Amino acid sequence: MSNRLRFESVTVTFGHGASAFTAVDAVDLTLEPGEVLGLVGESGSGKSTLARAAVGLTEPSDGRILLGDSVISHSRGATRRERRRVQMIFQDPQSCFDPRRTIGQSLDEALVEAARRDGVATPSQPTRRGEIGVLLAAVALPQDYADRMPGQLSGGQRQRVAVARAIAARPTVVLADEITSALDASVQGSVLNLLRDLQREFGFSVLFISHNLAVVRLVCDRVAVMRGGRLVELGETLQVLERPRAAYTRELITAVPSM
């Protein structure tokens, strides 16, 4: 099964009639297997809306989204299982967890759902406990963090757990939506390095949404630039950031502070 995630003429419109607002306008974009694709643009450009459409939090009003040969937009029945192979890591890790459940319980839920999606027997509780320990180790957290509540963790630690929960679902695609913008600068680098290392280890693709061009240069293979819901430029990272074709891309680069 292909890892390729494709947006084909995807349009997302909110509201109706004269009050309708088009957040994403006929976007064609392909995330290749195993790559890290940066998606940049100013606030309100449609970046997050496009990602939310891929995980079913928003449905396109036109166009379609495919994972391999399976349509995952407007999904029903079996195609929902394919949609769960696309996992999203959100900007605010605090809002992603049930404050009444331990970290271990949240990860356990992801493991059970992955087994159901794949149509295999749910592993025993001791087996899942071992897998939770492996997941925490993969994101450089001690195994005893499984017994902690989300409120007992720092922002950086919660974001690491959010990454662990995403990979627990055995995704083929991970959508990372501004995952470092709510973190202190001292921990941003470690979370970015962690995501890149896990991407190489597990082989999933990443759609990396950010407004930070320095971070995009560091972690992305290609870059797509959005403005007003439309895709205005797409290319290899160095080509886009050093020899941009679109005037808007040049404006974004010029706006980056320099010493």
Residue 256 pLDDT > 80: no
pLDDT at site 80: 67
Percent of the chain's residues with pLDDT above 70: 95
For residue 43, tell me if it sits in a domain. Answer: yes
Grade residue 81 by pLDDT with cuts at 50, 70 and 90. Answer: confident
Q: pTM of this prediction?
A: 0.90
Q: Range of 137's domain?
A: 5-254
> For 7-38, how does the pLDDT look when each residue is reduced to its tens digit (9 = 90+)?
999 999 998 888 899 999 999 999 999 999 99
Residue 1 pLDDT > 70: no
HEC string for 80-117: HHHHCCEEEECCCHHHHCCCCCCHHHHHHHHHHHHHHH
Residue 125 pLDDT > 60: yes
Q: Across 41-50, 75-84, 93-102, which has the greatest mean pLDDT?
A: 41-50
For residue 82, tell me if it sits in a domain. Answer: yes
pLDDT at site 250: 93
| β-strands 5-14, 21-31 pairing | antiparallel
The mean pLDDT of 32-61, rounded to a whole number, is 93
In the three-class reduction of DSSP (H, G, I as helix; E, B as strand; rest coil), residue 136 is classed as helix
The mean pLDDT of 106-127, rounded to a whole number, is 88
- Which of 136-140, 181-185, 233-237 has the least mean pLDDT? 181-185
Grade residue 230 by pLDDT with cuts at 50, 70 and 90. Answer: very high
Grade residue 222 by pLDDT with cuts at 50, 70 and 90. Answer: very high
pLDDT at site 259: 55
For residue 100, tell me if it sits in a domain. Answer: yes
A 10 A CB-CB count for 93 gives: 24
Residue 77 pLDDT > 60: no
Share the mean pLDDT of the chain: 89
Residue 113 pLDDT > 70: yes
Burial 148-176 (b: 16+ CB within 10 A, else e): bebeebeebbbbbbbbbbbbbbbbbbbbb
Q: Which residues contact 218 (CB under 8 A, 6 or more apart)?
A: 192
CATH number at residue 94: 3.40.50.300
For residue 188, tell me if it sits in a domain. Answer: yes
Query: What total number of domains does the chain contain?
Result: 1
Residue 82 pLDDT > 90: no
> For 153-206, how does the pLDDT look when each residue is reduced to its tens digit (9 = 90+)?
988 899 899 999 999 988 999 999 988 876 777 778 888 888 888 998 889 999
For residue 23, tell me if it sits in a domain. Answer: yes
For residue 259, tell me if it sits in a domain. Answer: no
For residue 192, tell me if it sits in a domain. Answer: yes
Q: Which residues contact 196 (CB under 8 A, 6 or more apart)?
A: 36, 219
For residue 246, tell me if it sits in a domain. Answer: yes
Q: What stretches of 91-246 show up as alpha helix (H) in DSSP? A: 103-118, 125-138, 155-168, 185-202, 213-219, 237-242
